[in-house]
Amino acid sequence: MCKIKFTSFIFFFFSVYAFSQTEKDTLTMTAQDSSIIYSMELREIIVSPDGVTTFNDEERKAKLILKRRIFRVYPYAKLTADKLTQMNATMASLKTEKEKKKYFKIVEKYLQDEFEPRLKKLSRKDGQILVKLIHRQTGISTFDLIKEYKSGWKAFWANSAAKMFNINLKTEYRPYDVMEDYHIEGMLDSAFELKQLVKQDAKKPIDFTSLNNYWSKKTKPKPMVKED
C-alpha cells in the first residue's frame, strides 16, 4: 500500500503534534449548562457506593467538561469509521497501484485542507478521548490502524511521540472496565436520544441498560456480616 503523510491522513493517523499543550479548560457554569447537567443526571445513572447521586460544583463542572470534549471529538471518530469503510470499498475496486496512489493523493489533500487546522485546536485530554472513541467506532485501536495502513515502524514512532503528550494510541474503549468510559457511553446514549449527536453504533454493540446495571451491581456495597 502506498505511503501518505502521517500528519494529513487524520481520520486514522491524526498528528500527535496537533494537540495543544494546554491542560486546563476554562469554563463558566451558566444556568443553561446547569440545566443540561441536571438533565444528564436524570438520564444517566452516576454510580456512588450508597446508591445516592449527589454532585458538588466541581463534579458538575467536570461532567460538563467531559461532555464538551465528547461533543468536540466524537464527529472525528464517527468520520474515521465512515471513511475507513469508504476507503476499503474504494481500494477493493482499484486494480492498479497507480490508481491507488492517485486515490490516496486526492484523499490526502482533502483531509489536510479540511481537517488539520481543526485538530490543532484539540487539547491533550481531547486527544485521549478521541483515541478511545476511534476504537469505539472502528473496533481497532489507533495504533493498530497506523500499523495496518502504514507500517509497524510508523505505529511505534507515532505512539512514542504521543506518549510525550500523555496519549497512548493503544488505548481501547472499555466501558465495562473503566468508569470514565462508562460515563462517556452514558453521555453518548443521552446525546443520541436527544438528537444532539448523529448516532453511529459502536463497532462492538453496547447495550447501555445492561452496562448501567453492571456498574450499579459492581459498585453496590456488600452487606455487613455479623459475627456471632
Q: Model confidence at 53, in pLDDT bands (50, 70, 90)? A: low
Q: How far apart are CA 85 and CA 48, in angstroms?
A: 40
pLDDT at position 201 over 90 = yes
Tens-digit pLDDT profile for residues 149-179: 777 888 888 888 888 888 899 999 999 999 9
pLDDT at position 190 over 60 = yes
Q: Model confidence at 52, in pLDDT bands (50, 70, 90)? A: very low
Comparing C-alpha atoms, which of 14, 63, 73 is closest to residue 43? 63
Report pLDDT for 129: 94
Q: Across the chain, which distance is largest between two alpha carbons, in Å?
A: 81
Tens-digit pLDDT profile for residues 103-132: 877 776 777 777 777 777 788 899 899 999
pLDDT at position 39 over 50 = no
Report the 10 Å Cβ neighbour count for 159: 19
DSSP per-residue codes, 6-33: TTT-HHHH--GGGSBS---------HHH
Residues with Cβ within 8 Å of 57's Cβ and at least 6 positions away in sequence, in order, are 29
Q: Which 3 state secondary structure label does DSSP give 78?
A: helix
Q: Model confidence at 97, in pLDDT bands (50, 70, 90)? A: confident
Report pLDDT for 102: 83
128 burial via Cβ count (<10 Å: 0-12, 13-18, 19+): buried
pLDDT at position 204 over 90 = yes
Comparing C-alpha atoms, which of 166, 123, 23, 12 is closest to residue 76? 12
Domain ranges of the chain: 55-218
| 37: enclosing H helix or E strand | helix 31-43
Q: How far apart are CA 3 and CA 99, in angstroms?
A: 14
pLDDT > 70: percent of the chain:
71
Report pLDDT for 6: 33
Angle between helices 57-93 and 179-193 (to 10 degrees): 80
The better pLDDT of the pair 9, 203 is held by: 203
Compute the mean pLDDT over every residue in the chain, rounded to the nearest whole number: 76
Q: Please tell me the least confidently modeled range out of 1-10, 100-109, 219-228.
A: 1-10
Report pLDDT for 150: 74
Report pLDDT for 95: 86
Beta bridge partners of 173: none
Compute CA distances 49 → 9, 146, 214, whole Å.
44, 40, 14
Handedness of CA 30, 34, 35, 39 (dihedral sign): positive
Report pLDDT for 74: 94
pLDDT at position 33 over 50 = no
Report pLDDT for 7: 36
> Position of cell 451491581?
217
31 burial via Cβ count (<10 Å: 0-12, 13-18, 19+): exposed
Q: Which 3 state secondary structure label does DSSP give 123?
A: strand
